[in-house]
Amino acid sequence: MLNWLINTARAVTITNPISSNSFADVVKKFAQILVTVGIPLAAIFIVWSGFLFLTARGNDQQLTKAKSTLWWTLVGTAIVVGAYAIASAVVEFAQTL
């Protein structure tokens, strides 16, 4: 029984699920995934805030909600794009060291 367990343990190999060989690749891929998910979400929320503007019809409370939605969507988009830019810059800087 112990011999079978040892042979089975030797036959098991663990593959790299990230498929990256360096920390720089991991950072780049994570930033790309963040942008790939974040930009379409930003587009959806910009359209949603436009819908809120159209349906407000002069109601100050709904206009405030629409402005707030647009503002935070733009802030979130800037953070996503800025994070991608900073991650790319840090990786490029680290590779030149």
Q: Give pTM, 2 decimals.
A: 0.72
Token pair 């790299």 in the structure block, residue: 16
pLDDT higher than threshold 80 for residue 24: yes
pLDDT in the model for residue 67 = 96
Structure tokens at 77: 């988009």
Q: In terms of C-beta density within 10 A (0-12 exposed, 13-18 middle, 19 or more buried), how is residue 66 classed?
A: buried
Average pLDDT rounded to a whole number, residues 1-29 = 73
Q: In terms of C-beta density within 10 A (0-12 exposed, 13-18 middle, 19 or more buried), how is residue 49 classed?
A: buried
More confident residue, 75 or 28: 75
